[in-house]
């Protein structure tokens, strides 16, 4: 098959390699923008394990915008209280995560536990409703690019049939061993955070209640934990090995034996091992997120310690940042230089997330007691933003540092009979007016204007009571001012005036 690209209805405009949470999020976002994307996955099916199970508050807001939050919330739950075991007896409970109550500005305040395989199923179902799908068993074997497009070579199916696909852009969301990154020759800078090998697995186990995350921190050989996975009958197993030279046995019998050796459970209490993998914890950041018409996202761009729950979430938000920019360039005539802001905005965020995860990992071992307060607000990713960036234009002067400014996440809040997130939901920009400020006339259908009722007091306080705020499609304030002066110019730079 040889597929051309263009705007005449033939072929694809973007090839996305990797159908994990990052690739699926990007494919969903492009599909709702009318961009023809081809999502390919080297595996024969979606990833079957629970590996990234913590959905941070900011990622839940992304899923709200993509129209899947109700399903995500229905099949998950808050992380349970931890329970420490010694000599077959419980020795105390504690919370790993600080508990927060919802507020008008932050409707999803806590990390939500959903196994990765289920998150992917939800995103895949959403992609299919949007008219897209995944091509499984398609491994990227080569990549070439020119000034006006890329050519991706694939080996498809059991026979490895060679396919050539042409597109305008390609995105590597294909994991830590990214074929796209290798084809581009982009290096990584990083370190081994923990030289000890570790195991993660999904198991069905008898003899444990499902309202606690069970921890055995000090058995011979290394710590072990079993966390119940919400809305399933299985647990996620995490274990590390004190012996740096250990070779973990991830066979079904090996996992059963490991649990029997390190806990009060017997091998026969492990009814089934659904999936297992072993790894060493690394932290690494790609030297660049872009080469010509090719981009990296998710684990292809950054790999994290699992402590802190930053990897999957940072990848989903990479996709959320890149999707609207590709949509503007391909569908609305924006200057392709807009795509340079992807790396400028997202690489510093990944660097900070890597630092957070590495600090938490080194503060305490995988199953040690980490007080919730020491995890810090940074893991929630709500305060992350793009102040000072080229797309963050703040025209007001003399604002206090804690005031909502251009580059910040746009808070939710009541608005008429709904909420601001209802206004934001979709592929458009939202121009909000508070107080008597005049709303400018904007011709682009991709910009929705709305005057917030004065009686929405909670929202008005969050947005400083008066002024104009232009909210980007990814939920960050792009432009803010006391009057409309400058907002049309800002939109013009994006091809939207």
Half-sphere exposure of 184 (CA within 13 A, CB side): 26
Number of other CB atoms surrounding residue 92 within 10 Å: 10
Tally Cβ neighbours within 10 Å of residue 220. Answer: 7
Strands 14-17 and 37-41 come out as parallel
Write out the residue limits of the CATH 3.50.50.60 domain(s) in the chain.
2-76+107-189+283-380
**What is 393-493's CATH number?**
3.40.30.120
Q: How many whole angstroms separate alpha carbon 281 and alpha carbon 304? A: 7
Q: Is 91 helix (H, G, I), strand (E, B) or coil?
A: strand
Among 3.30.379.10, 1.20.1250.20, 3.50.50.60, 1.10.3720.10, name the CATH number for the domain at 2-76+107-189+283-380.
3.50.50.60
Please tell me the class of the 193-281 domain.
alpha beta
Of 136, 167, 127, 102, nearest to 27 (Cα)?
127
pLDDT tens digits in sequence order for the chain, 497 residues long: 444 444 333 489 999 999 999 999 999 999 999 999 999 999 999 999 999 999 999 999 999 999 999 999 999 999 999 999 999 999 999 988 788 999 999 999 999 999 999 999 999 999 999 999 999 999 999 999 999 999 999 999 888 899 999 999 999 999 999 999 999 999 998 766 678 999 999 999 999 999 999 999 989 999 999 999 999 999 999 999 999 999 999 999 999 999 999 999 999 999 999 999 998 878 789 999 999 999 999 999 998 777 666 779 999 999 999 999 999 999 999 999 999 999 999 999 988 877 777 677 666 654 445 444 444 566 778 888 999 999 999 999 999 888 999 999 999 998 888 999 999 999 999 999 998 888 998 989 999 999 988 766 667 678 876 899 999 999 999 999 999 999 999 999 998 87
Rounded Cα gap, residues 107 and 319, in angstroms: 22
Distance CA 407, CA 404 (A): 9
Q: Which 3 state secondary structure label does DSSP give 171?
A: strand
Contact call for residues 374 and 363 (beta carbons, < 8 A): yes
Burial 31-48 (b: 16+ CB within 10 A, else e): bbbebbbbbbbbeeebbe
Q: Which two tokens stand for residue 121?
A: 């199923």
Could you give the angle at the alpha carbon of 477 between the alpha carbons of 436 and 318, nearest 5°? 160
Q: What is the pTM of this model?
A: 0.94
- Answer yes or no: are the C-beta atoms of 216 and 291 closer than 8 Å: no
Dist. CA 123–CA 403, nearest whole Å: 34
3 state SS of 121 = helix
Asked if 281 and 361 touch (Cβ cutoff 8 Å), the reply is yes
Task: Identify the residue whose tokens are 């008066």.
Answer: 466
Between CA 46 and CA 122 the distance in angstroms is 11
CATH 3.30.70.2450 residue ranges of the chain are 193-281
In the chain, residues under CATH classification 3.40.30.120 are 393-493
Q: What is the pLDDT of residue 31?
A: 98
């Amino acid at each position: 098959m040889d597929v051309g690209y263009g705007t005449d209805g033939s072929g694809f405009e973007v090839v996305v390699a990797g159908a994990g949470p990052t690739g699926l999020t990007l494919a969903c976002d492009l599909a709702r923008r009318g961009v023809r994307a081809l999502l390919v996955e080297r595996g024969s099916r979606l990833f079957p394990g629970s590996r990234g199970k913590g959905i941070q508050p900011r990622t839940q807001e992304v899923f709200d915008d993509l129209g899947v939050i109700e399903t995500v919330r229905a099949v998950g739950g808050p992380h349970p209280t931890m329970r420490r075991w010694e000599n077959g007896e419980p020795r105390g409970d504690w919370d790993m995560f600080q508990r927060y109550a919802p507020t008008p500005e932050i409707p999803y305040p806590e990390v939500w536990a959903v196994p990765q395989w289920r998150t992917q199923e939800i995103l895949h179902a959403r992609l299919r409703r949007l008219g897209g799908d995944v091509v499984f068993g398609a491994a990227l074997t080569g990549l070439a690019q020119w000034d006006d497009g890329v050519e991706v070579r694939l080996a498809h199916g059991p026979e490895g049939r060679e396919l050539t696909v042409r597109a305008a852009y390609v995105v590597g969301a294909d994991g830590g061993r990214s074929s796209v990154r290798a084809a581009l020759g982009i290096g990584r800078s990083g370190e081994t955070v923990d030289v000890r090998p570790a195991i993660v697995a999904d198991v069905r186990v008898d003899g444990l209640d499902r309202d606690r995350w069970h921890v055995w921190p000090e058995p011979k050989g290394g710590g072990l934990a079993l966390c119940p996975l919400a809305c399933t009958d299985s647990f996620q197993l995490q274990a590390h090995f004190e012996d740096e030279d250990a070779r973990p046995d991830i066979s079904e019998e090996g996992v059963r034996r490991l649990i029997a050796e390190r806990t009060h459970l017997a091998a026969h209490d492990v009814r089934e091992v659904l999936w297992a993998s072993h790894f060493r914890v690394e932290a690494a950041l790609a030297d660049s997120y872009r080469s010509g018409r090719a981009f990296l996202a998710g684990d292809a761009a950054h790999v994290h310690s699992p402590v802190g729950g930053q990897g999957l979430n940072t990848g989903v938000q990479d996709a959320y940042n890149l999707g609207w920019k590709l949509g503007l360039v391909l569908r609305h005539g924006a200057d392709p230089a807009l795509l340079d802001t992807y790396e400028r905005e997202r690489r510093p965020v990944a660097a900070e997330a890597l630092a957070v995860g590495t600090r938490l990992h080194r503060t305490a071992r995988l199953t040690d007691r980490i007080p919730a307060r020491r995890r810090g607000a940074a893991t929630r990713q709500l305060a992350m933003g793009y102040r000072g960036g080229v797309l963050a234009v703040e025209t007001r002067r003399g604002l206090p540092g804690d005031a909502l400014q251009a580059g910040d996440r746009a808070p939710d809040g009541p608005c008429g009979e709904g909420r601001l997130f209802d206004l934001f939901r979709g592929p458009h920009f939202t121009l909000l007016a508070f107080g008597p400020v005049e709303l400018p006339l904007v011709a682009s259908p991709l910009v929705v204007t709305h005057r917030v009722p004065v009686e929405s007091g909670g929202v008005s306080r969050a947005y400083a009571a008066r002024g104009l705020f232009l909210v980007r499609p990814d939920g960050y304030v792009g432009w803010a001012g006391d009057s409309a002066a400058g907002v049309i110019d800002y939109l013009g730079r994006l091809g939207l005036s």
